[in-house]
Amino acid sequence: MRFTSDASSDGIREQLFALGDVPGALWTPAGSTGPRPLILLGHGGGEHKKAPAVLALAHRLVTGCGFAVVTPDVPGHGDRPLHEEYDRIATANRARIEAGAEPGPLLAEFHALVARRTVPEWRAVLDAVQRLDHVGAAPVGYWGISLGCGLGVPFVAAEPRVRAAVLGLGGALASAAEAARITAPVRFLLQWDDERVPRTAGLALFEALGSAEKTLHANPGRHGDLPPHERDAALPFFTRHLA
């Protein structure tokens, strides 16, 4: 892991890094030492490691809970170069959706493809970050909606260090088998009028989760209308299961 910047402000230390060809950001309480719970935050499609919504949630988890938060850039996002295959598929999918195709199956298939690359990348990021003295080998949580859910379901299923996860705005078309392998507690978010992920697909993904403890939180509105209080609720959820 190579750090490219290290700065502290308002009680938060931000370290930008590169692990091989994976850039990312790590936030911890300024001046902290010793192990602490770590949240891997999966950003949404078209976002990146320092998108406003990502920063806001990461800062709240650091200042409100004392956690460490890490966010890697997904291929083709942020500081990563254009991925020709993924870009070609995404462009073709947009054209098909504009022509009237159902977006759910196309998005699910694309997320499953990208996850085959991101899951091992994210596991390597966990390995590297937990070797740092100011993070350590404490329990891990995961937060990701939309693209972050499509990539997060196979990641959480594959990674036993994840003890709790917030997932949502995703469907079961390509991830039901992985969802069944998840046993960690899950808080699942669903937008009742989601125009990108059919309600039935979101409910099917919740049903497929193998977790003994899982809760469904449904709100009216479209894909991008997730209420702010659902992000706020991540703090007590992770504190209960990780701290």
Across the chain, which distance is largest between two alpha carbons, in Å? 54
Could you give the CA distance from residue 68 to residue 162 in angstroms, rounded to a whole number? 14
Q: 191 pLDDT exceeds 90?
A: yes
Does residue 35 surpass a pLDDT of 80? yes
Mean pLDDT rounded to a whole number for the chain = 93
pLDDT given for residue 235 in this prediction: 97
Does the pLDDT of residue 218 top 80, yes or no? yes
What values do phi and psi take at 95, rounded to 5?
-65, -40
Mean pLDDT of 91-100: 80
pLDDT at 37 over 70: yes
Q: What is the mean pLDDT of residues 44-56?
A: 93
pTM of the model: 0.92
Does the pLDDT value for residue 120 go beyond 70? yes
Q: Is 163 helix (H, G, I), strand (E, B) or coil?
A: strand
Does the structure show a pLDDT above 80 at 174?
A: no
Q: How far, in Å, CA of 153 to CA of 81, rounded?
A: 25
Tell me if 85 sits within 8 A of 116, measured CB to CB.
Answer: no
How is the beta sheet containing 22-29 ordered, strand by strand? 2-9, 12-19, 22-29, 68-72, 38-42, 140-145, 162-168, 186-191, 214-219
Instruction: For the chain, report the end-to-end CA distance as a whole number of angstroms.
Output: 26
Residue 178 reports pLDDT greater than 70? yes
